């Protein structure tokens, strides 16, 4: 795993957006895996700026979002469909038919999940998957105990996640108890993975998934099994890492390192 420690949220967002933008410039019809939440908001804002000011072209992009609350219609203001429209899609030139977000109010979730997996396959697989991380170590809504081989399915949310997400709803009782989510196995199939995290509240879990053992109790730790993962953290989220000096040395000597590993 490549660990990049940014000064603050702003720098974290800029570095993440640059990674996404260079993927798009390298392959105009890239397939992106996208995430919702507070963490990627700054990254998306920077992508909008790159689109507006530097003409970053999303017209050939396909995107697949990680997850959606079960039971919420796409136009529900708390749905992740709505979030993506508001914070990204309506500001850039993606083609609506190429913006895939799980449909929370589908009548047949099982059939829908199989269809979603098929669509990812038909698109040629995900080139770059963007991830945040929950305080319980989840990636997408793969809560502790999720199979590390899991595919897109309906997952019950844990109490910590429901509490964390209650801030978007008028009461905690309104937070859906289930979500449709890509599985850990689905995520690990992406060719490259970018995980972003910021703030003190993520420090403990970042140390666990980066430097602790691979365990289904912290599903982000499964990223240790992937060959091309970049983690971009702000200083607070990185504060409990044991090997910060090493990560910073690698970052400062990136050209040297990349020459050696051929990237």
User: Is 67 a residue of the active site?
Assistant: yes
The half-sphere exposure of 170 on its side-chain side, counting CA atoms within 13 A, is: 1
Question: Given the complex with ligand PGA, which of 134 and 176 has the nearer CB atom?
Answer: 134
CB of 132 to ligand PGA, least distance (A): 3
Asked if 8 touches ligand PGA (CB under 6 A), the answer is no
Q: Which of 38, 110, 174, 252 binds ligand PGA (CB under 6 A)?
A: 38
User: Is 136 a residue of the active site?
Assistant: yes
Question: How far apart are the C-alpha atoms of 143 and 116, rounded to whole Å?
Answer: 20
Q: 78-117 mask for ligand PGA (x: CB under 6 A)?
A: ----------------------------------------
- Which residue out of 46, 68, 99, 138 is catalytically annotated? 138
Contact 58, 119 (CB under 8 A): no
Total residues in contact with ligand PGA, by rule CB under 6 A: 6
Q: Which of 102, 109, 132, 183 binds ligand PGA (CB under 6 A)?
A: 132
CB of 197 to ligand PGA, least distance (A): 8
Contacting range for ligand PGA; rule: CB under 6 A; set: 2-10, 33-41, 79-87, 225-233: 33-41
CB of 134 to ligand PGA, least distance (A): 4
Q: What are all long-range contacts of 217-221, with beta carbons under 8 Å and residues at least 24 apart?
A: 217/137, 217/144, 217/145, 218/136, 218/137, 218/144, 219/137, 219/138, 219/139, 219/142, 219/143, 219/144, 219/146, 219/148, 219/184, 220/131, 220/133, 220/137, 220/138, 220/139, 220/195, 221/137
Asked if 134 touches ligand PGA (CB under 6 A), the answer is yes
CB of 149 to ligand PGA, least distance (A): 20
Question: How far apart are the C-alpha atoms of 7 and 78, rounded to whole Å?
Answer: 31
Nearest-CB residue for ligand PGA: 37
Question: Given the complex with ligand PGA, which of 39 and 129 has the nearer CB atom?
Answer: 39
Longest dimension (CA), the chain: 53
Kindly list the catalytic residues: 67, 136, 138, 143
Residue numbers at the binding site for ligand PGA (CB under 6 A): 37-39, 132-134
């Amino acid at each position: 795993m490549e660990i990049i420690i940014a000064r603050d949220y702003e720098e974290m967002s800029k570095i993440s957006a640059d990674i996404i933008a260079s993927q798009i410039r390298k392959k105009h019809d890239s397939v992106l895996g996208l995430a919702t939440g507070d963490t990627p908001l700054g990254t998306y804002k920077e992508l909008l700026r790159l689109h507006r000011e530097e003409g970053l072209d999303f017209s050939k992009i396909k995107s697949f979002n990680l997850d959606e609350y079960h039971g919420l219609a796409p136009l529900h203001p708390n749905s992740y469909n709505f979030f993506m429209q508001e914070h990204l899609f309506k500001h850039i030139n993606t083609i609506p038919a190429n913006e895939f977000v799980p449909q929370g109010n589908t009548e047949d979730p099982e059939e829908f999940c199989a269809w979603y997996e098929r669509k990812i396959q038909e698109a040629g697989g995900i080139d770059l998957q963007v991830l945040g991380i929950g305080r319980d170590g989840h990636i997408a809504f793969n809560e502790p105990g999720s199979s590390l081989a899991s595919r897109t399915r309906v997952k019950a949310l844990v109490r910590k996640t429901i509490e964390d997400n209650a801030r978007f709803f008028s009461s905690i009782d309104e937070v859906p108890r289930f979500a449709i989510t890509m599985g850990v196995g689905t995520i690990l199939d992406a060719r490259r993975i970018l995980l972003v995290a910021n703030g003190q509240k993520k420090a403990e879990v970042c140390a666990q998934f980066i430097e602790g053992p691979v365990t289904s109790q912290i599903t982000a730790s499964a990223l240790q099994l992937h060959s091309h993962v970049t983690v971009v953290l702000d200083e607070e989220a990185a504060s409990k890492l044991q090997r910060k000096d090493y990560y910073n040395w690698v970052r400062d000597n990136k050209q040297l390192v990349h020459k050696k590993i051929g990237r």
